[in-house]
Amino acid sequence: MRPWIHAPLLRALTQPAHFRSAQDPGAPLRQGGSPAQPADGPERKLKARTVWISDVHLGTPGCQAHALLDFLKHLECDTLYLVGDIIDGWQLRRSWYWPQAHNDVIQKLLRHARKGTRVIFIPGNHDEFARHFLDQAFGGIEVQEECLHTTADGRLLWVTHGDLYDGVIQCARWLALVGDSLYEFTLKLNRHLNTWRARAGLPYWSLSRYLKLKVKRAVSYVGDFETALAREARQRGAAGVVCGHIHHAEMRDIGGILYCNDGDWVENLTALVEQADGQLGIVHWGEAMSRGLPHGLRVSEAEQTPPTA
């Protein structure tokens, strides 16, 4: 069966990289996506050995494409993993949505590949159409089902989106589709809610994150998902696993296996990074932008894992 790829998406993936929007997508952003004034002095880069991002959901109104462009502009790394759900094929099938900023993200990723960064794309459930092109490369971006990554300090990490180990996705696809529609509705409601909160001088608040952390069944689902991936990593002889899928950035030990989720670029604006010495940590780019610090590597001390001795 021929994989579904919408014609405008193919054009977006293949048109020349010099195509840019009227608003420079590389300009630093303030919280909320508005252009910020350039920082004084020479531009600083977020330098890392390896970076993992996932759940960008290009093709949906909830995608924070401008924030991701800001992150990619300031990023220098040897290897960049795109850990699934980069393009939301489910949403694009329902209704075509592809603003210029989403096109700019694709072009920025291709530019990283052209400049020598190894870019590896591991499809997820929302961009599962790409699984028809495994072990091929497009514009220098490699497509793989999963892979093993060795950190600078010798730890073996298994990298997968995670949906293949999600019982809901595998056993009740209709329920996953319903849940996806409800999630989109929650995001839309959240945007209206936070417009009102901003006018009232209140900080951003995530309804979907609140439900994930407070609803007992949702908490149980997340726990089962994390445990299943840690078990699978152990069976593969890996010291840890890097995944996405559930939009919840976290690093923790599960039975001696390091579980790392790089989060998402819909609400949390997070990435997992490996520094030159093998240390791993989660970057919260939205918080960095809100503090006016978009140029440095800001990793919470509580979320770092020290390199092995």
pLDDT in tens, 181-220: 555 667 667 766 667 767 777 666 665 665 555 554 455 5
Whether residue 168 is contained in a domain is answered as: yes
What is the distance in angstroms between the CA of the first residue and the CA of the last residue of the chain?
A: 50
Whether residue 96 is contained in a domain is answered as: yes
Q: What are phi and psi of 258, to 5 degrees?
A: -80, 115
Whether residue 308 is contained in a domain is answered as: no
Instruction: Please list, in sequence order, all residues whose beta carbon lies within 8 angstroms of the beta carbon of residue 37, skipping any fewer than 6 positions away.
Output: 28
Give the model's pLDDT for residue 198. Answer: 72
Q: Is the pLDDT of residue 234 over 50?
A: yes
The beta-strand segments (E) located in 54-136 are: 75-82, 118-121
Give the model's pLDDT for residue 148. Answer: 97
Mean pLDDT of 96-111: 97
Averaged confidence pLDDT in the chain? 77
- Which of 182-186, 227-231, 283-287 has the least mean pLDDT? 182-186
Whether residue 31 is contained in a domain is answered as: no
Whether residue 160 is contained in a domain is answered as: yes
Give the model's pLDDT for residue 45. Answer: 78
Give the model's pLDDT for residue 278. Answer: 96
Structure tokens at 223: 């726990």
The answer to whether 58 and 105 have CB atoms below 8 angstroms apart is yes
pLDDT in tens, 13-27: 334 333 223 233 333
- pLDDT category of residue 223 using cuts at 50, 70 and 90: confident
Q: CATH code at 226?
A: 3.60.21.10
Neighbour count for residue 127 (Cβ, 10 Å): 25
What total of structural domains would you count in the chain?
Answer: 1
Q: Name which residue leads in pLDDT, 70 or 307.
A: 70
- Which of 17-21, 74-78, 135-139, 288-292 has the least mean pLDDT? 17-21
Q: Residue 200: which domain range? A: 45-303
Whether residue 15 is contained in a domain is answered as: no
Whether residue 37 is contained in a domain is answered as: no
Give the model's pLDDT for residue 8. Answer: 41
pLDDT in tens, 128-167: 999 999 999 999 999 999 999 999 999 999 999 998 886 5
Whether residue 126 is contained in a domain is answered as: yes
Query: What CA dihedral angle connects 65, 67, 69 and 75, to 10 degrees?
Result: -140
Q: Give the closest residue to 104 by CA, choosing from 15, 193, 44, 186.
A: 15
pLDDT in tens, 38-73: 444 445 678 999 999 999 999 999 899 999 999 999
Q: Give the closest residue to 208 by CA, choosing from 193, 196, 223, 197.
A: 193
Measure the CA–CA gap between 57 and 280, rounded to whole angstroms.
Answer: 24
- The share of the chain scoring above pLDDT 90, in percent, equals 53
